[in-house]
Structure 1
Amino acid sequence: MKDTSHKRHIAKAITWRLVGTLDTILLSWLISGDPLTGIKIGFAEITTKMILYYLHERVWFKVDMDESNKRHIYKTITWRIVGTIDTMTLAWLISGDPLIGLKVGGAEVLTKMILYYLHEKAWYKINFGLDRDKRQKQE
């Protein structure tokens, strides 16, 4: 059977990055007090997060676990750990202030987990990039 999931994972990475970048820009702006710093942090993480998200999706595609809320929660937690470390590092490097990095990363933990969970649930309902026969057997 042909693995058609690559285009799905790329599409998920793009849609999540749009949501995530807007959240990062807003939080970084509010925390740093500087809209330009928010924009720099948000745009800097586009590349790093797209790569990290794609790799995260590829790993989870191979995890043998029932499609359930538990799976979505585990994916949410593991992605948030990776994403928060990346955001804190970028915010620190761009702002020059490690405290801003910690504050942005800390604020994102809650907002991003909620947004990611909703994004994951929405994508679970979309068959784009999946072999429909395989999906129906799983349900």
Structure 2
Amino acid sequence: MSKLGGHKRHIAKAITWRIVGTIDTIVLSWIISGNPITGLKIGFAEVVTKMGLYYLHERLWFKSGVLNSNQRHLLKTITWRVLGTLDTMVLAWLISGNPLTGFKIGLAEVLTKMLLYYLHETIWYRSNFGLDERSRQHG
């Protein structure tokens, strides 16, 4: 894989995941806070923080050397969800002004985003976008 190809792939993955993740955050935040504006504020604040965090997460996993696809998908899902949940809880607390709201939104996201992330990662694993060769199985 060329260095540029890996970056292009990881940037594309970060963008597609952020679209899915932002929609999920907006909906959950709206339902839990009862306020659609709060949902939008939390969702859009995450666009900035999560894009950077996701890109760094992808780069670290790219260099990790874990090649077994099932183990890799599961470990990436868990590590990303821990990082993402902490980010969501802090942002939701700051934006809503209520630490319990932040906790509830973060807890709800653990369930929805684990499933969504696993599906996203599985789809990308099957894709050759940004790969010069498929002999090395990196996501």
Q: Which interval holds the TM-score relative to the shorter structure?
A: over 0.9
Distance 1:37 1:115, change over 3 A: same
User: Within 5 A, what are the aligned runs for 1:108-119?
Assistant: 108-119=109-120
- Counterpart amino acid of residue 69 in structure 2: S
Among the aligned pairs, what percent are the same residue? 71
* Partner of residue 91, structure 2: 90
* Partner of residue 129, structure 2: 128
- Counterpart amino acid of residue 2 in structure 1: S
1:33-73 deviation digits (Å, cap 9, x = unpaired): 00000000000000100000000000000011123111100
The secondary structure found in structure 2 opposite 1:136 is coil
> Which sections of structure 1, spanning at least 5 residues, go unmatched?
none
CA distance in structure 2 between the aligned counterparts of 1:88 and 1:119, rounded to whole angstroms:
22
How many residues in Structure 1 have an aligned counterpart in Structure 2? 137
* Partner of residue 58, structure 1: 59
User: Within 5 A, what are the aligned runs for 1:3-22?
Assistant: 3=3, 4-22=5-23
**Normalising to structure 1: TM-score of the pair?**
0.95
CA distance in structure 2 between the aligned counterparts of 1:136 and 1:77, rounded to whole angstroms:
25
CA distance in structure 2 between the aligned counterparts of 1:57 and 1:39, rounded to whole angstroms:
26
* Partner of residue 99, structure 1: 100
Distance 1:96 1:55, change over 3 A: same
CA distance in structure 1 between the aligned counterparts of 2:125 and 2:17, rounded to whole angstroms:
13
* Partner of residue 2, structure 1: 2
Distance 1:130 1:23, change over 3 A: same
Deviation at residue 106 of structure 1 after TM alignment: 0.2
> Which sections of structure 2, spanning at least 5 residues, go unmatched?
none
Superposed CA RMSD in Å reads 1.4
**Poorly superposed stretches of 4+, deviation over 2 Å:** none
Distance 1:110 1:62, change over 3 A: same
CA distance in structure 1 between the aligned counterparts of 2:47 and 2:117, rounded to whole angstroms:
16
* Partner of residue 40, structure 1: 41
CA distance in structure 1 between the aligned counterparts of 2:67 and 2:9, rounded to whole angstroms:
19
CA distance in structure 2 between the aligned counterparts of 1:81 and 1:33, rounded to whole angstroms:
25
User: Within 5 A, what are the aligned runs for 1:62-77?
Assistant: 62-77=63-78
